[in-house]
Structure 1
Amino acid sequence: MLNSSIKNLDLRLLAVFDEMFRTGSVSATAEALHMTQPAVSMCLSRLRRQFGDALFVRTNAGMAPTPHALSLQEPLGKAYRLLCDATSSRDPFDASTSSRVFRIAMADAGYLALFKPLFEFKQRQAPNISFEFRSISKDTGALMAEGEIDLTIAFSPQLGPGIYQQLLIEQDFVGAVRCDHPRIDRQISWSDYAGEQHLAVSLQGTGHWVLNNAIEEVGIVRHIGWQAESYLAVPPIIPFSDYIVTLPKAMARFFAERGVLKYFELPFKTPRILVMQHWHERFHRDPGVVWLRKVMFELFRDL
């Protein structure tokens, strides 16, 4: 059935089938493919005639694939991805005129440090390009495979199979306190670090488990006065408390330049954080993603 039917399929039909399988929704498929809903419905009608099957039927949970659609998903999905790779590799990418939207997953540590240089770069060289930033989650790898996320920037996340990676920057952890802290200046002893209360920040993609392991290995038990899941907690808390916060150096520099805190070397060794950029093999040769990777590599080199 597949061999006799596929000769009349075009890329748009494959795209509609693939997106319908992913979303189970005509409206969501239309939005994702920048088509009208009637156009998607017409493509579905062509697909149904082509394969002699309803393919997707309406249920309370949306448009569900029929058994025949399930059997077609793997071969048609492979065909669609191969065609996308082949056509995208021939299309030039001009950042100065493109209006493409790039979706990047990263922790707020990287976002805050990257915001200013990326914004300035965009204004100069890619004024019409848009960036969407998302948090890292357990679904990030799957979203990358589906093309919903173009790039993930993080410390060793578990993103699943088919992921390429490249080292962007190696970072040290440092300690930081408010600028007029009554007991701590630019140096700190082991006992000082252990004796103060701490603001602890722990979020996915930042390598904080490495820090926690290093602290445990030297026998320090921190008194956690405040636990947060974002570095956005630093500006409203550190300047108005005596807490110590331990964070990546680029993040500490970002806050120090804005008068939020002063930072210092830790009185014990911690492994360096290897910040990587990750992308899915489906989009390895996508000219836009290739451009984005080069931009991130250059910007992180200067952090």
Structure 2
Amino acid sequence: MTLVNNPDAVIDANLAVALDALLTEQSVTRAAARLHTSPAAMSRTLARLRRILQDPLLVRAGQVMVPTPRAHALRNEAATVVRRLGALLTPDAGVDPAALSSTFTLQAADFVGAALAPGLLRLARLEAPGVSFRFRTEDLEGGPVLRDGRIDLEIGSIDHIDPETRVEVLLTLRMVAGVRPGHPLTEGTPTPARLAAAEHVVVSRRGRFTGPLDTALAELDLHRRVAVVLPGHLAAMTLAARSDFVCLVPATLPGAAPSPLTETATALGLHLLDIPLPLPPVAIGMAWHPRHAADGAHHWLRDAVRRTLRTADGTDA
């Protein structure tokens, strides 16, 4: 900042720290030792402070130096400024979740939101009761919503982010076939031909009728009939549970810890069948803008999502 009485002088933080050390120690030598610099350098700093403040600050009285009245008046203020500078430039030590009063906006697919919300709310009640959540569907997908701050966290299959966006993969899922109990595919081994012969419901936000399963079937010169395309997994799974349609359902990899993402199909009463074809795995992750990377509240949010999705009960694996 520039002093009104001395418009040519610009004070930096180092001068404030030096002034505090000089007024506290009342000795150039001791102030230099305190700031790990040389007495000559501290003497030059004192001379600069004298010019800026237009006051000698410390004057010789025998073998010691004594403060001027102006120095006496500045001593407490200088100490306060240095303490505030220290607090300003100290890394954030985090926040107390119990003291948070925030609303977080999350964007997630319907089945991800349905699986995430119960565990996330349970953690919030225990750790951060002042936190609320707003879930948005993927209607904003493809836009710079993280960059613009319209959402705090995106959760799902992340494939359309801005270059600076931070992404963390939470778990990897495989696709299985979901059918109602007693469906013809539950009798015997579900071969590629039998799977292709069944009627299918496809999940696509963009209205597409084909996907990786069609590519795998085509390698065997097989084609399935897709009777309906729905925008969300919950609607597709509900339809499959009440009809003879087959839908693809995300499930955990063999040997992996259970996740609430894979419980929805079971809760709807679907019978899950392994698909006898090589399908690419699905990575479920979360994405956020780097401006939130060091924010304590956002750090709690990411950790809460991580704990909730990686295990069925929301506890650490």
Q: By the TM > 0.5 criterion, same fold?
A: yes
Q: 1:151 maps to which residue?
A: 153
Q: Which amino acid is the alignment partner of residue 97 of structure 1?
A: A
In structure 2, give the amino acid aligned to 1:281. P
Q: CA deviation at 1:140?
A: 5.5
What is the SS of the residue equivalent to 1:121? helix
Conserved in 2, the CA contact under 8 Å of 1:200 and 1:227? yes
User: In structure 2, which of residues 280, 293, 311 is the aligned counterpart of residue 302 of structure 1?
Assistant: 311
Determine which of 196, 202, 205 is the counterpart of 2:204: 202
SS at match of 1:257: helix
- Give yes or no for contact 1:93–1:288 (8 Å, CA) kept in 2: yes
2:9 maps to which residue?
none
Aligned residue for 1:243?
245
Residues 1:245 and 1:89: Cα distance change in structure 2 (over 3 Å) = farther
Equivalence for 1:221: 223
1:162/1:280 contact within 8 Å kept: yes
Note if contact 2:201-2:226 (Cα within 8 Å) is conserved in structure 1.
yes
Q: Which residue of 1 aligns with 2:58?
A: none
The 8 Å contact of residues 238 and 260 in structure 1, kept in 2 or not, is answered as no
Q: Distance in 2 between matches of 1:300 and 1:270?
A: 22
Which amino acid letter does the alignment assign opposite residue 290 of structure 2?
A: E
- Contact 1:171–1:249 (8 Å) recurs in 2: yes
AA at the equivalent of 1:291: W
Larger gyration radius, structure 1 or structure 2: 2
Taking structure 2 as the reference length, the TM-score comes to 0.60
How far apart in 2 are the matches of 1:213 and 1:138?
28
Pairwise CA distance, 1:163: 0.4
* Residue 269 of structure 2 is aligned to residue 260 of structure 1: yes
1:1-303 aligned within 5 A: 90=92, 92-137=94-139, 141-185=143-187, 187-203=189-205, 209-249=211-251, 253-303=262-312
Further displaced range: 101-110 or 226-235: 226-235
SS in 1 for 2:247: strand
What's the CA shift for 1:232? 2.6
- Say which SS state the counterpart of residue 294 (structure 1) adopts: helix
Of all paired residues, the percent bearing the same amino acid is 24
Contact 1:88–1:285 (CA under 8 A) maintained in structure 2? no
1:221 alignment partner, SS class = coil
Deviation at residue 287 of structure 1 after TM alignment: 1.2
Shift of 1:240: 2.3
What runs of 5+ residues in structure 2 fail to find an aligned partner? 1-87, 253-259, 313-317
Instruction: Find the residue that maps to 1:172 and give its secondary structure.
Output: strand
Describe the shift of the 1:202–1:139 C-alpha distance in structure 2 as closer, same or farther (beyond 3 A).
Answer: closer
8 Å CA contact 1:186, 1:264 repeated in 2: no
TM-score, with structure 1 as normaliser: 0.63
Cα distance in 2 for residues equivalent to 1:108 and 1:188: 28
